[in-house]
Structure 1
Amino acid sequence: MDYKKILDMMLDENDFTVGGGCASALAGAMACGLMGMVANLSKGKNYGYEDEKYDAIIKELNDMKGKFLEGSVNDNKAYLLIVNAYKLPKLTDEEKQERRKAIQNAGVEAANVPLSNALLNKRTYDIGRDLLEKSNPAAITDLQAGIDLAKVGIDAGRANVLANISLIKDEKVVEDLKKQLKNLD
């Protein structure tokens, strides 16, 4: 994965394929980086966890960081599914039915991707909160920045899910998505 390309894309005000879902994922990746740094700076000292616990936290954060970067790309792809679905022809009844189905499928994907990113941000947020009392106090501002970024990621992901729910006509799918959003509280 070309991370420089992802960042360039995210920062390009003329790229209309990038939105809040991508931002949610990148906020989470940044949060993971900051929290991992804090965990590293807490090793070898008596801040509440053994080094093995910090190492486990760092490993989990690194794994999630990769998932967030992938989630950013997936959010961009989901948006393009919507764009392409709306471009489908709608002259005949059959074309209209295929177009509606494509929009519905794209909407489901465009809601599931930011939901996944938001849930990952929730886990990141929880890790940060756990580290608050068990990490190097000299790095507290970095940890707080990570916690704040994870919260932004949760909120942006939730908003992105809600924005895409309107494309989904299957009430069971909508109900399930709304139920899963409650896991973000």
Structure 2
Amino acid sequence: MLVNKTVCGFVEELASNSAAPGGGSTAALAGSLGAALSIMVCNFTEGKPKFSSVQDEITQIKQKGLALKNDLMDYVDGDTNAFDEVMKAYKLPKETDAEKSLRSEKIQEATKQATLLPLKVAESCVEVLKLSLKVLTIGNPNTACDAAVSGVTAYAGFQGAIFNVKINLSSIKDETFLQKVRDKILVLQDEADKSNQLILARAKEVIG
């Protein structure tokens, strides 16, 4: 599993001439790092008398952050596995009409799954962005930089995931599926952009 590698091991594999892991797994990793930083801010805020008024909210943010971190770590391997399934589909035999038909069907199925996986990554990154903004606003100000990095890292993960969604769309023939995905992208992009701008503005106020 990719997530069980050392940082050096993952980076070296990423830099190799293998097609996977690639941008999709990297986007998921970025999102998980963003979530981890928000959790870190919570840990430096939780239980501190100075922040007693926000303890309940901080606890809720931490719980949600942990769930998002774990999901995104799963997606690191999930994205690579989805890509591998697409490659397997393309390698299916295509000598007869029946084989060609089955191969085409399997390619479409695998490509849809390889599209939905990074879409899940994008959705999770949007949620991490919301947590980043919250901890940057109510968390321990000594960790403001960590909260800001949480936000920009999650936004990078979001953008990377969306790129990975879009690259697959031209290969999918199901127009209903395509329209649903495109509509979802528009909603997520709007949410992500708004959160990112608020994070940058808040970081400028707090950090300079």
Instruction: Give the structure-1-normalised TM-score.
Output: 0.93
One-letter code aligned to 2:181: L
Correspondence for 2:26 among 15, 20, 23: 23
1:113 aligns with 2:117: yes
**What is the match of residue 3 of structure 1?**
3
- 1:77 counterpart SS class: helix
CA distance in 2 between partners of 1:117 and 1:6 (Å): 22
Deviations 1:29-79 (A, max 9, x none): 101111111111122144585222211111111111110011111101100
Higher helix share: 2
**What is the match of residue 69 of structure 1?**
73
5+ residue gaps, structure 2, are: 191-208
- 1:132 counterpart SS class: helix
Instruction: Give the structure-2-normalised TM-score.
Output: 0.83
- 1:50 counterpart SS class: helix
**What is the match of residue 140 of structure 1?**
144
CA distance in 1 between partners of 2:53 and 2:123 (Å): 25
Superposition misfits of 4+ residues, deviation over 4 angstroms: none
One-letter code aligned to 2:4: K
One-letter code aligned to 2:5: K
Q: Is 2:3–2:76's contact at 8 Å kept on the other side of the alignment?
A: no
1:170 aligns with 2:174: yes
Alignment CA distance shift 1:181-1:25 (3 Å): same
Shift of 1:97: 0.8
One-letter code aligned to 2:159: D
**What is the match of residue 39 of structure 2?**
36
Shift of 1:153: 0.9
Alignment CA distance shift 1:45-1:167 (3 Å): farther
Q: How many residues align?
A: 185
Q: Is 1:32–1:146's contact at 8 Å kept on the other side of the alignment?
A: yes
**What is the match of residue 60 of structure 1?**
64
CA distance in 2 between partners of 1:151 and 1:120 (Å): 11
CA distance in 1 between partners of 2:53 and 2:38 (Å): 14
